[in-house]
Amino acid sequence: MSSQHTQIILDSIADGVFTIDRDRNITSFNRAAERITGVTREQAVGQKCFDVFRASICQDACALENAIETGREMIDVRIDILNAAGETIPVSISAAALRGESGEVVGGVETFRDLSAIELLRREIRKQYTFHDIISKSHEMQRIFDVMPDIATSGSTVLIEGPSGSGKELFARAIHDLSRRSGGPFVVVNCGALPDTLLESELFGYVKGAFTGAEKDKPGRFAVAEGGTIFLDEIGDTSPALQVKLLRVLQEKEYEPLGSTEISRSDTRIIAATHRELSALVADGGFREDLYYRLNVVRIELPPLAARRGDIPLLADHFIRKFNAEKGKRIEGISPEALDILMRHDFPGNVRELENAIEHAFVLGRSAQIQPECLPPGLVEQASGPRPRQGSPIEEAEAEAIRLALERHGGNRSAAAKELGIHKTTLWRKMKKHGIS
């Protein structure tokens, strides 16, 4: 086949293609390569590939050089290049060695695909389902997102209930950032991490001589949070004695530092959180009823991750981008097999456990994608058991679509079926399948 025919074929391909010789000089450059890089064929041919194809891996991990040296193909490696205008273009590349008639390596060939449209779509999806660093597409979480600005600007005390690792502090911080107090401090106190006596001095401070070792005055967290927001995490773990003092701050906006006879005023918004159900604690006598009602002005209940499995791919993608930046790696994503394992896990540790699983995979992973063997052993072992019905991402998406359609139509199955484009008997069968009443 003539070189002219070869060039015609290359120019008909939608992906960029270029070839190099053993000295890394470009020997051919197709039309798609011109379009993606902004460099003409005439400008490219004869130039060093790293001067034209300005990629993030050119200097220390060149895919073409690796393919030529090892004889192994590089497939679908995600990198960034700079076009002629200096703009960053995300591309997926594949590289292989070129051999002569006698089998000797004479150069290399690289194909690359412009991922700009895909990346734009991903950014739009992230933007749609992201609220102040909180990521979710579940209907329940979206409803919380909708009212968050109103809660923030109200200035009222907020109680956030949800299991450990579900992101209660993220919500508290978002409320603060959206409020009129955003210019003030945001102070976090874990009430379950300190014994009662230490927690009291931590919250309210103490004066010199209040106890042995108190050699000077120390302001408490309420004083530090003046004009801003204080986040009292695990409020359900506080003792009855401390609950009385917290009630005074909420009712009277005042407190006494340890060892002081003077009253300090407090201009601080309180956001409290707990993994326990405070109403049940009140009923059992483990939490003061009057304090509960003072805290429970506005209540946010966060669902566990197992109840919103559709968020797992979004969150996994978010953590992959986060650890890529922190650890200087270039993990492109997660393999379908590894994602299937995550989708089938119950995540008792919720979002925090998922984040830890992705970090574990970053430490052990050596490929471009997170593979099952990189995940924590416990997740893989659980996935080897019987597959739960809700484990399939497709089935989970179908169930979510049905629930949303029914909710929009007030439970009217005929109207929901019409919106979904299926017969009402099909809808009824799918509702039974997914356990939707």
Q: What is the pLDDT of residue 79?
A: 84
CA dist 106 and 129 (Å) reads 49
| Domain at 64, CATH number | 3.30.450.20
Same domain, 242 and 330: no
Q: Residues 6 or more apart from 387 whose CB is under 8 A from it?
A: 344
> Distances in Å between the alpha carbon of 19 and those of 46, 53, 164?
11, 11, 54
Same domain, 250 and 355: no
* Averaged pLDDT, 261-288: 93
Does some domain include residue 152? no
Same domain, 396 and 364: no
Q: What is the pLDDT of residue 278?
A: 93
Residue where one domain finishes, among candidates 284, 301, 318:
301
| Domain at 398, CATH number | 1.10.10
- Residue that wins the pLDDT comparison between 125 and 152: 152
* Domain count for the chain: 4
**For residue 22, is pLDDT > 80?**
yes
Q: What is the pLDDT of residue 213?
A: 72
Least confident range from 118-122, 327-331, 405-409: namely 118-122
Q: Residues 6 or more apart from 367 whose CB is under 8 A from it?
A: none
Indicate the length of the chain as a whole number.
437
Q: What is the pLDDT of residue 384?
A: 59
Residue where one domain finishes, among candidates 260, 284, 301:
301
Q: What is the pLDDT of residue 130?
A: 81
CA dist 286 and 377 (Å) reads 38
Residue where one domain finishes, among candidates 268, 286, 301:
301
Q: What is the pLDDT of residue 390?
A: 46
State pLDDT tens for residues 183-215. 999 999 999 888 887 899 899 988 887 677 777
Q: What are the structure tokens assigned to 205, written together? A: 């401070």
State pLDDT tens for residues 24-49. 899 999 999 999 999 999 999 999 98
Q: What is the pLDDT of residue 289?
A: 95
Neighbours of 411 (CB within 10 A): 10
388 falls in which pLDDT band (50, 70, 90)?
A: very low
Contact 116, 90 (CB under 8 A): yes
pTM: 0.66
Q: What is the pLDDT of residue 246?
A: 95
State pLDDT tens for residues 346-381. 899 999 999 999 999 999 888 888 999 999 988 877
State pLDDT tens for residues 422-437. 877 788 878 877 778 6
Does some domain include residue 131? no
State pLDDT tens for residues 74-124. 888 888 888 888 888 889 899 999 988 888 889 999 999 988 887 776 666
Same domain, 374 and 414: no
| Domain at 354, CATH number | 1.10.8.60
- Residue that wins the pLDDT comparison between 84 and 419: 84
Residue with tokens 């950014």: 123
Same domain, 75 and 161: no
Q: What is the pLDDT of residue 5?
A: 66
**For residue 59, is pLDDT > 70?**
no
Residue 47, Cβ density class (10 Å: 0-12 exposed, 13-18 middle, ≥19 buried): middle
Q: What is the pLDDT of residue 168?
A: 96
| Residue span of the structural domain in which 402 resides | 392-434
Does some domain include residue 113? yes
CA dist 298 and 285 (Å) reads 22
State pLDDT tens for residues 150-183. 999 999 999 999 999 999 999 999 999 999 999 9
Contact 109, 18 (CB under 8 A): yes
Q: Residues 6 or more apart from 421 whose CB is under 8 A from it?
A: none
Does some domain include residue 130? no
Q: What is the pLDDT of residue 350?
A: 95
Q: What are phi and psi of 318, to 5 degrees?
A: -60, -45
Q: What is the pLDDT of residue 66?
A: 85
**For residue 413, is pLDDT > 80?**
yes
Same domain, 106 and 207: no
How high does pLDDT run on average in the chain? Answer: 87
